[in-house]
Amino acid sequence: MLRPGDVLIVDFVGATGVKSRPALVVSTDLYNGSRPDVVVGLLTTQVAKATAPTDYVLQDWQAAGLHAASAFRAYFVTELQARVRRRIGALSGRDWHEVQTRLRIALAVT
């Protein structure tokens, strides 16, 4: 089962077509265990552009299985769990804590 903080490779549909890219599971264990989909947030290597209050530049990106310095961006999509290409790692505790802070800023939840 996919877990919050897992780093995945998914196919994002964008303005220029479909692109395989890393994404971060932001949905809960309860959600992931009871639904066929998973909620993910975007991970990008454009760290210089990650300047919004809801962005976070990962400190431990290599330990998460990423190949380049990356940032979380509060851009969310749902993906069918069966269509997830693969799990490549998970965020460190400190990175996941900081992403959770950005999630609270981005979403109307406390």
Handedness of CA 52, 54, 58, 64 (dihedral sign): negative
Q: Between 24 and 21, whose confidence is greater?
A: 24
Judged on CB neighbours under 10 Å (0-12, 13-18, 19+), 73 is buried
* CA separation, residue 94 to residues 13, 39, 59, 108 (Å): 30, 21, 8, 23
Domain ranges, residue 68: 6-106
Q: Does 82 map to a domain?
A: yes
pTM: 0.93
The CATH number covering residue 58 comes to 2.30.30.110
Dump pLDDT digits (tens) for 27-67: 999 999 999 999 999 999 999 999 999 999 999 999 999 99
Residue with tokens 């939840």: 109
- Number of folded domains that form the chain: 1
User: What does the pLDDT look like over 61-102, one tens digit per residue?
Assistant: 999 999 999 999 999 999 999 989 899 999 999 999 999 999
Q: Does residue 52 lie in a domain region?
A: yes
pLDDT at 109 over 90: no
